[in-house]
Amino acid sequence: MLQTRQDALGARLGLQRGAFEKEPFPGLDVRKDRLKRLLALTEQHEAEICSAIDADFGGRSAEETRLAELLVVRAGIRHALAHLRGWMRERRVATSLPFLPGRNRLLPQPVGVVGIVSPWNYPFQLAIAPATAALAAGNRVLIKPSELTPKFSALLDRLVGEHFAPDEMSVVIGDADVGKAFVSMPFDHLLFTGSTVIGRQVAVAAAANLTPVTLELGGKSPAIFDASCDLDGAVANVAYGKLLNAGQTCIAPDYLLVPQGQGAMVAAKLATAMARLYPSLRDNRDYTAIISERHHRRLGEMVAEARESGADVIEVNPVNEELGVTNRKMAPTLIRNAGENLRLMREEIFGPVLPIIEYGTVDDAIDHVNRAERPLALYWFGRDRGNRRRILRETIAGGVTINDCMLHLVQERQPFGGVGASGMGAYHGEWGFRTFSKEKPVFLQSRLSAGSLLRPPYGKMFERAFRLLKLMT
């Protein structure tokens, strides 16, 4: 069975690689045509995409999908279309004095066939945004979407087949075993979005083929309230950032650091802000369900462990509805005084559960962040420029938003990516184009070169030329 899967994947990879070898450097018009077809896929099938994702989640609003997925992808494609000519241009690079009048150039060249493994939490955005970058760079693309969103994955397979030839871009449907076979294929570049645990396995599998990888992972992304912050504004932003997609967002605030003595007050304000966003839960179409029963149980076990340990657990359930595994809705939950050995303090939560931790000084907050593995995102709220400077310079994170949540993700003129356990490499905008390109250095020798003076047979002429060369370098 495994050999059959690998043979089938090998055939699809071979089809795309053969097409790439016939057209190893697609021109601007070809690349723009592919991007325009990708934009058409996004714009013409919005209702179908929203419906499929809603069905897979068992409840996710079309508005949330339109805002957090379709709008982001549409903006990325349009940005690429507007700037692609400049990205493709061969760039001049300064030439050191000894090699003049020769010239240096950098030529961005497609790498070949790019494999993309996309997750379930934002199934459209996290498949199509990297595909945008790969197509802009002139590559062919194979996408393996998550088995946890089967309706969307089937839809994506159909839509890509309608808008693209199989040797341009296609979708591979299958379970976790298909995913393992997929990442073991000799792609020219592989991008994986998912958990750190699986990301390590992907990196090992890719290493066997020396396949370059971009890993977009996750981790425990902190939000920090400085003593100087606008507390009400900060609370409103964190409440929204945490509960978007019911917390199933890789850059959602995973825990909140607040000044000593403010924990109870902040928890009360957060509960009020969350109830304002979602005045009911079970039948509220605005509030997203947890993706699966397994993930719902995992979150429930984390909260139960915290409660049993003596932590303060606050469930934000404004009308006291009956929620559970069957409807996969989970009440927003705030947890104070949680011990550091608890699962929710050690593992990425990926749900609507927010631990609140008090800190004494800025040094304590920095130390708390730095004791853990490097997060994908960090959020700082405050007006004190000195403290902001310290947080930015003395902590390491994949990206930072100041006085809001998650907005660094949607900046097409900035790279997006992790660091350390939260990932490697980056994409979005020109950074994505560069990720999926080989920037080939080219040196153009001049007819006026004096290099022949440094060749055998060595003698007095070599010594004079070499002395001059030493002075110039």
* DSSP reduced 3-state for 257: strand
Does residue 66 sit within a domain? Answer: yes
User: If you average pLDDT over residues 333-352, what whole number do you get?
Assistant: 96
Work out the average pLDDT over 336-349.
Answer: 95
Tell me the average pLDDT across 230-248: 98
The answer to whether 65 and 53 have CB atoms below 8 angstroms apart is yes
On whether both 251 and 285 belong to a single domain, the answer is: yes
Residue 463 domain flag:
no
Residue 470 located in a structural domain: no
Catalytic residue among 229, 250, 358, 405: 250
Instruction: Give the domain range for residue 114.
Output: 2-217+423-439
Mean pLDDT over the full length of the chain? 96
* Catalytic residue check, 216: yes
Is 435 inside any structural domain? Answer: yes
Residue 363: phi, psi to the nearest 5?
A: -60, -40
Could you tell me if 270 and 125 lie in one domain?
A: no
Q: What is the CATH number of the domain that holds 254?
A: 3.40.309.10
Q: What is the pLDDT of residues 241-270, one digit of tens each?
A: 999 999 999 999 999 999 999 999 999 999
Render pLDDT for 84-119 as a digit per residue (tens, 0 to 9). 999 999 999 999 888 899 899 999 999 999 999 999
pLDDT at 304: 97
- pLDDT tens column, 411-438: 999 999 999 999 999 999 999 999 999 9
Q: Kindly state whether residues 15 and 112 are assigned to the same domain.
A: yes
Tell me the C-alpha distance between 205 and 441, whole Å.
Answer: 29
Judged against a pLDDT cut of 90, whether residue 224 lies above it is answered with: yes
Q: Is the same domain home to 294 and 434?
A: no
Query: Cα–Cα distances in Å, from 311 out to 51, 304, 308, 345?
Result: 39, 10, 7, 12
Pair 325, 431 in one domain:
no
Judge if 433 and 395 occupy the same domain: no
Per-residue pLDDT for 64 more than 90? yes
What's 137's domain CATH number? 3.40.605.10
Q: Do 397 and 435 lie in a common domain?
A: no
Which of the four pLDDT bands, split at 50, 70 and 90, describes residue 34?
Answer: very high
pLDDT at site 2:
59
Asked if residue 448 belongs to a domain, the reply is: no
Asked whether residue 256 falls in the same domain as residue 148, the answer is no
Among residues 216, 348, 412, 430, the one annotated as catalytic is 216
In this structure, the answer to whether residues 76 and 39 fall within a common structural domain is: yes
User: Is 349 part of a structural domain of the chain?
Assistant: yes
* Residue among 245, 236, 277 nearest 60 (CA): 245
Confidence (pTM): 0.95
- Check if 394 is active-site: no
Domain match, 189 and 208 both: yes
| Residues 72 and 195 placed together within one structural domain of the fold | yes
pLDDT (tens digit per residue) in 168-213: 999 999 999 999 999 999 999 999 999 999 999 999 999 999 999 9
Q: Are residues 287 and 435 in the same domain?
A: no
331 within a domain of the structure (yes/no) = yes
Count of domains in the chain?
A: 2
Judge whether residue 4 has pLDDT over 80. Answer: no
Task: Kindly give, in sequence order, each residue whose CB lies less than 8 Å from that of residue 78, ignoring residues fewer than 6 positions away.
Answer: 39
Instruction: With a cut of 70, say whether residue 1 has pLDDT above it.
Output: no
Residue 3 has pLDDT above 70, yes or no: no
Is residue 460 situated within a structural domain? no
pLDDT at 387 exceeding the cut of 90: yes
Instruction: Give me the pLDDT at residue 5, please.
Output: 74
What CA–CA distance (Å, rounded) separates 140 from 131?
Answer: 9
